Structure 1
Amino acid sequence: MKIIGLDVGTVRIGVARADTATKIAIPDGFINVNGQEISEIQRKLRLYNSNILVMGMPRSNNGNQTAQSEFVKQFARQVAATIPGLKIYFQDESLTSVEAERRLKARKNNYQKGEIDAESASIILQDFIERMQVALNNQQSLSPASLGEANNNSDNQNPASNFAKEEEVASSKSSKKQPKKKSFMKKIIIALVILLTVAGLGAFGAYTWYEKQLAAPKNFSCKFNSPAAAATSEGSEENPDCHYQKFEIKTNQTIGDIAENLKKAGLIRSDFAFKTYLKLSSKSAKIKAGTYSLRANLSAKEIVEQMEKGVASSEVFNLTVLPGETLKEIKQKLIKLGYLSEQIDTALLKKYDSPVLKGLYDNEGKLTNPAQPVNVALEGYLYGETYQFYKGETVEHIFETMINQLNSVVVANHIEEKFQKRGFSLREGLILASIIQKEAHSEDMSGVSMVFQNRLKVGMTLGSDVTATYAADLVNPNRDRNDPNNNLRVLETDNLYNTRKHTGLTPGPICSPGITAILAVAEPDENKRSMRYFLTGDDGKMYYSVTDTEHTQKIRDYCQKLCSVGL
């Protein structure tokens, strides 16, 4: 049984079709909106002997219907009134044209707008088919859109039930006692027929194309044949392609997303062929979430085989870094996991390449601020998160992963642009965020941020005790915190990291800031724009002041214990 999918527009209507036996939607051209569009749709329905239409129902990013949604519904009413016995379904869609254009760009350089519409229709129809399959698995049915009598014909069929009927008919023809399922090879032949229609190739050419797209993107040999062997053996791979790539599959991630990410990573040749293979082999539901180590010399079938097995827990370990932790604390965690201090120190001195490190190095590869010790160059850039790594993973790769995670957070939240609006470079904003991370609880960070920004504008010192503590630890890592004169010595530490004595920001971050602290710099509390002082009282509340006199009085009133705690 055939189903027709439509991407309804005001200029063109994209068309796609699918067979309930194969369950794969393919583009089928477009129809110009010129007054004859309903007649052309009727011709398509007769051509494919179908009485089922699926129309894309536009939705905004927040899931609401749009003005275009009303246009589609009105058009559906016209179609239903013109074509008797027709069943119309709506399939929610958003940004399908963007996805369609991306797919076309991946396949060829030149394409027409009508091709985008047809590709969009195939995406809409494929989503509908998958929804029908879910309904079938749950023994449910979906009702068509209520558009009048034309949709209520007793002969209308439920596409979900037809999925089941197609399989029942195919099996009953061979044997009543032991129904045989379609062989995997037969499914491949069906897929090749589809590919033949799409690409206009001969049968042999279609088969060749499909097999080629499932092959490994690259052909090379490596010294080690597993991540564990590569991590624990002496020596390293000479070919850079032999280094394993980490590929993460998150819980509830769609097959489409997985295929697209594999294609972007260069681990498969075609996301379309990959998805087709999963559907034909019925392995979509067997893919397991986890972080995999993959190479570009693996075929799509070999990758699927790994993802079916899942990641062996004995081969991986978790590393949790909390917002506010320093390199010193992260180093201790790595040592507990079995890494040597020398390995970690070497990795800390390496120069890494990531957009988020902008401003850390100059054109010659040296630290931009000579006052920052080289062994804490990465302070603030190892983003706090829970990570999963294979046992034996290099410290360098662990650090690269954490730096890249920070970069992802910065990009996703448009942090650099927001910092610039506040007058900070990316690096300056991260430095201030690290100080805020140490100074305040999450709910107070935006207020503390505004106080610090107010002080910077008028040339006051930040006066942050946490920076004085960090400076003292740099100068004397083994200092005696029980020394009665410890606090005085900390506050008097003559180091540029001590903002009690020096104006401006510290030479570098003092810890790993979390997203709340980072956003506090980008979006400070405007209600505190006149405040120049703050303190955390013995009751845990934050108190703000405009003048030093007010601040001193609030110390007497609210901070008898905390304000005398050792630094």
Structure 2
Amino acid sequence: MKLLTILLLVLLAVAGIGAFELLMPFGPQSEQFVEVAPGTSTAGIAKQMESAGVVRSAWVFGALKLWETERHGRQTLKAGEYRFDHPDSLWDVYWRIEHGDVFTLTVVIPEGYNIFDVAAAVQGAGLGKADEFLAVERKHTELVKPWSPQAESVEGYLFPATYKFGRHATPLLMLSTMVAKFTVEAQRLGLKGDVNRTVTMASLAEKEVHMASERPEVVGVFENRIEQGMPLQTDPTVIYASLLRGTWTGVIHQSELKADSPYNTYVHGGLPPGPICNPGLAALQAAVHPAKTENLYFVADANGATKFAKSLKEHSDNVEAYRKAAGQR
């Protein structure tokens, strides 16, 4: 009986120690990063976590891995960078590594962001300096050569989406990821032929109107004007030309309307040489399937919608109505 009591006490003590090791929070009081390289063994991960002060015992971490494998089959611990900023249980630490809960920084690229906006978003996310990002995008135009062989920028091909990158992601990695996303979406959409023309047209529609339902009509207007030899005279291209020169002040000046930039659609006929922003799916679809229309003009109304017109007189009336409504506000 005495031996049985001792054995029971020993078992209770072991169970208590095990529960303490598994459930009692342990770890850093401030931010600590641990990088787990691909191919690192369980023992290697356990040692890293112990050395970083994330877990008490590498041995207990390894024992938990064996137990979980016995219970659920082969368990794979994921590589990546992990962030720990408060004490946590060994169980929770193990769960995070098993599920690949790696630390990332988020970059949100809305529809219509141009390359300067994207660079600013990257810098705002803490992933590097905007000017360094811009330098790399100008250098690596080979990323978009399958779509635009003569491209001097990756503008237009950084698909709008929410991206998650590790702290050490390079500008080239981020650019490649965004272009890869464009490639997937372009293939789904069935883009073919002169893709640069399609993306350029989509970028104009993206910048001109905010309502997706109006974009096919806008593209139809642009196509009509091109067919009739009329300049597009779209302000977003003038703004983009000023951005490229580094002279944009937030207001279009008369001198900018006359500037001899290939992106200035007041001076040069047809489309600009490349996209002026990164269009989303709706704008790309509009460029692929423009509306069949007789309209040649459009202008915003006081409510944010767009008024389309077939004749210059009708368009002038729409412009005057907009100015009156805006003046009454």
Settle same-fold status: TM greater than 0.5. Answer: yes
Match 1:396 to one of 172, 178, 184: 172
Measured after TM superposition, the shift of residue 359 of structure 1 is 5.0
Unaligned runs of 5+ in 2: 1-34, 39-68, 82-93
Match 2:208 to one of 436, 439, 462: 439
Tell whether the 8 Å contact from 2:119 to 2:131 is kept in structure 1 after alignment: no
Matches within 5 A, 1:334-413: 334-336=122-124, 337-341=126-130, 343-351=132-140, 353=142, 357-358=145-146, 360-361=148-149, 368=150, 374=152, 377-413=153-189
Measured after TM superposition, the shift of residue 292 of structure 1 is 6.8
SS in 1 for 2:253: helix
Whichever residue aligns with residue 200 of structure 2, its letter is I
TM-aligned CA distance change 1:480 to 1:411, over 3 Å: closer
Measured after TM superposition, the shift of residue 492 of structure 1 is 2.0
Tell whether the 8 Å contact from 1:287 to 1:307 is kept in structure 2 after alignment: no
Whichever residue aligns with residue 134 of structure 2, its letter is D
Q: Distance in 1 between matches of 2:70 and 2:191?
A: 43
Residue-by-residue CA offset, 1:135-166 (whole Å, 9 max, x unaligned): xxxxxxxxxxxxxxxxxxxxxxxxxxxxxxxx
TM-aligned CA distance change 1:331 to 1:506, over 3 Å: same
Measured after TM superposition, the shift of residue 312 of structure 1 is 2.9
TM-score normalised to the size of structure 2?
Answer: 0.67
SS in 1 for 2:106: strand
Whichever residue aligns with residue 540 of structure 1, its letter is G
Question: Are residues 1:501 and 2:290 paired?
Answer: no
Whichever residue aligns with residue 223 of structure 2, its letter is Q
Measured after TM superposition, the shift of residue 473 of structure 1 is 2.2
Tell whether the 8 Å contact from 1:358 to 1:426 is kept in structure 2 after alignment: no
TM-aligned CA distance change 1:503 to 1:392, over 3 Å: same
Measured after TM superposition, the shift of residue 541 of structure 1 is 2.1
Whichever residue aligns with residue 512 of structure 1, its letter is N
Residue-by-residue CA offset, 1:309-351 (whole Å, 9 max, x unaligned): 22335x2111110110111111112222141345313321333
Q: Distance in 2 between matches of 1:332 and 1:474?
A: 15
Q: Distance in 2 between matches of 1:487 and 1:562?
A: 20
Measured after TM superposition, the shift of residue 502 of structure 1 is 1.0
Question: Are residues 1:430 and 2:199 paired?
Answer: yes
What residue number does 1:458 align with?
A: 228
Whichever residue aligns with residue 548 of structure 1, its letter is L
Q: Distance in 1 between matches of 2:273 and 2:283?
A: 18
TM-aligned CA distance change 1:353 to 1:502, over 3 Å: closer
Measured after TM superposition, the shift of residue 402 of structure 1 is 0.2
Q: Distance in 1 between matches of 2:197 and 2:326?
A: 29
What residue number does 2:106 align with?
A: 318
What residue number does 1:474 align with?
A: 244
Q: Distance in 2 between matches of 1:467 and 1:492?
A: 12
TM-aligned CA distance change 1:387 to 1:480, over 3 Å: closer
What residue number does 2:306 align with?
A: 542
Q: Distance in 1 between matches of 2:104 and 2:80?
A: 11
What residue number does 1:192 align with?
A: none
Q: Distance in 2 between matches of 1:464 and 1:410?
A: 25
SS in 2 for 1:434: helix
Q: Which has the higher contact order (CA 8 A, sep 6+)?
A: 2
SS in 1 for 2:137: helix
Q: Distance in 1 between matches of 2:274 and 2:109?
A: 19
Tell whether the 8 Å contact from 1:539 to 1:558 is kept in structure 2 after alignment: no
What residue number does 2:118 align with?
A: 330
Tell whether the 8 Å contact from 1:431 to 1:506 is kept in structure 2 after alignment: yes
What residue number does 2:283 align with?
A: 517
TM-aligned CA distance change 1:307 to 1:468, over 3 Å: same
Q: Distance in 1 between matches of 2:111 and 2:134?
A: 21
Number of aligned positions between the proteins: 249
SS in 2 for 1:320: strand
What residue number does 2:315 align with?
A: 551
Unaligned runs of 5+ in 1: 1-223, 228-278, 295-304, 362-367
RMSD: 3.1
Residue-by-residue CA offset, 1:406-461 (whole Å, 9 max, x unaligned): 00000012122xxx4xxxx1111001101110001222111111111111122211
Whichever residue aligns with residue 310 of structure 2, its letter is V
Residue-by-residue CA offset, 1:96-141 (whole Å, 9 max, x unaligned): xxxxxxxxxxxxxxxxxxxxxxxxxxxxxxxxxxxxxxxxxxxxxx
Measured after TM superposition, the shift of residue 287 of structure 1 is 8.9
SS in 1 for 2:123: helix
Whichever residue aligns with residue 216 of structure 2, its letter is S
SS in 2 for 1:435: helix
Tell whether the 8 Å contact from 2:296 to 2:309 is kept in structure 1 after alignment: yes
Tell whether the 8 Å contact from 1:438 to 1:466 is kept in structure 2 after alignment: yes
TM-aligned CA distance change 1:461 to 1:358, over 3 Å: farther
Kindly, what percent of the aligned residue pairs are identical?
22
TM-score normalised to the size of structure 1?
Answer: 0.40
Match 1:532 to one of 283, 296, 301: 296
Q: Distance in 1 between matches of 2:199 and 2:326?
A: 27
TM-aligned CA distance change 1:402 to 1:287, over 3 Å: same
Q: Distance in 2 between matches of 1:535 and 1:516?
A: 20
What residue number does 2:21 align with?
A: none
Q: Distance in 2 between matches of 1:440 and 1:500?
A: 19
Q: Which has the larger radius of gyration?
A: 1
TM-aligned CA distance change 1:561 to 1:546, over 3 Å: same
Q: Distance in 2 between matches of 1:225 and 1:292?
A: 5
TM-aligned CA distance change 1:488 to 1:316, over 3 Å: same
TM-aligned CA distance change 1:342 to 1:462, over 3 Å: closer
